[in-house]
């Protein structure tokens, strides 16, 4: 397959020229093509925001839901049809803000899906107010005297919760982002990829050049199975590390733990209700 197999003809892309979302979209197309994942076997799930428009520009099945509610829908889709490749994709505000509670419990369940978070440190769709990852002191149209809150650290939180795959990428490096996405999609369990990228219209602080000067890849000797080492890297602020921080291959995916699949592998979406059993259950409640 080739990346162009995921092109949508006549898609009217609403992103600003130079937006970091373009790099993520191209890296994702390349990763899907190299993994030979056909569009009909792929489901993209998103919430609200500029990043959440990504599935609109990609040939695939998609579910575009409520603000912050992508992960519950993605988990249910994977549970009903484990044969699908499921990717939940939205921005830092949608996933870590409105969807923060769902994010925590998705990590706890460990469904076999990939979670891509476009992290530009602002709410771009609503013109640039602070998001959970905005740095302290950042001036925005709403925080006119500067952001006062400590920024949320999604990598440290995910590692603390024992997420089974935790990585960070930078959309300005298409090749390495594609390689990280391939690892995440292949991972059998919940995989978080926090993807740094500039918002050229509303974030004048964290520009493309700023990310180039303030990021570096993890040392080749980094052992992703070492949770304490991964946590230490996630806390770094001198330069923001990129790459696969943490990997736990011991956790079973959520779908494999469901009683519905304990003695029957047929996916839920293909099953039909057993009316005789249902009638028997109803009868017991009438007694």
- DSSP track, 201-233: TT-SSS-HHHHHHHEEEPPTT--TT-HHHHHHH
pLDDT in tens, 62-83: 999 999 999 999 999 999 999 9
The ranges assigned to domains in the chain are 3-284
The topology (CATH level 3) of 3-284 is Rossmann fold (3.40.50)
Q: What mean pLDDT is predicted for residues 192-211?
A: 95
Mean pLDDT for the chain overall: 95
pLDDT in tens, 13-23: 999 999 999 99
- The answer to whether the pTM exceeds 0.75 is yes
Q: Which value, to the nearest 10 degrees, does the dihedral of the CA atoms of residues 96, 102, 103, 108 take?
A: 160
Residue 179 has pLDDT above 90, yes or no: yes
Q: What mean pLDDT is predicted for residues 104-117?
A: 98
Q: Is 68 helix (H, G, I), strand (E, B) or coil?
A: coil
| Structure confidence at residue 84 (pLDDT) | 98
Residue 246 has pLDDT above 90, yes or no: yes
The percent of residues above 90 in pLDDT, for the chain, comes to 93
pLDDT in tens, 258-281: 999 999 999 999 999 889 988 999
Total residue length of the chain: 287
* Cross-strand pairs, 64: 46
Token pair, residue 235, equals 């806390």
């Amino acid at each position: 397959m080739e990346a162009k197999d995921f092109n949508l003809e006549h898609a009217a892309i609403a992103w600003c020229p130079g937006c970091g979302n373009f790099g993520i979209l191209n890296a994702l197309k390349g990763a899907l093509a190299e993994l030979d994942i056909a569009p009909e076997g792929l489901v993209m799930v998103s919430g609200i925001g500029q990043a959440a428009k990504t599935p609109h520009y990609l040939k695939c099945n998609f579910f575009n839901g409520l603000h912050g509610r992508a992960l519950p829908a993605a988990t249910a889709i994977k549970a009903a049809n484990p044969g699908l490749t499921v990717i939940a994709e939205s921005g830092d505000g949608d996933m870590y803000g409105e969807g923060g509670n769902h994010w925590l419990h998705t990590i706890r369940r460990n469904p076999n899906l990939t979670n891509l978070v476009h992290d530009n440190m602002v709410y771009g769709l609503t013109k640039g107010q602070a998001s959970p990852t905005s740095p302290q002191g950042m001036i925005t149209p709403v925080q006119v005297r500067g952001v006062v809150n400590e920024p949320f650290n999604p990598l440290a939180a995910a590692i603390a919760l024992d997420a089974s795959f935790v990585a960070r990428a930078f959309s300005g490096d298409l090749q390495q982002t594609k390689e990280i996405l391939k690892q995440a999609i292949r991972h059998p369990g919940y995989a978080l990829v926090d993807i740094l990228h500039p918002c050229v219209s509303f974030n004048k602080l964290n520009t493309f050049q700023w990310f180039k000067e303030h990021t570096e890849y993890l040392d080749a000797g980094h052992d992703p199975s070492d949770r304490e080492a991964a946590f230490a890297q996630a806390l770094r602020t001198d330069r923001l590390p990129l790459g696969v921080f943490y990997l736990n291959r011991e956790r079973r995916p959520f779908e494999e733990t469901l009683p519905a699949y304990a003695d029957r592998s047929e996916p839920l979406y293909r099953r039909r209700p057993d009316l005789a059993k249902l009638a028997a259950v109803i009868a017991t409640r009438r007694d």
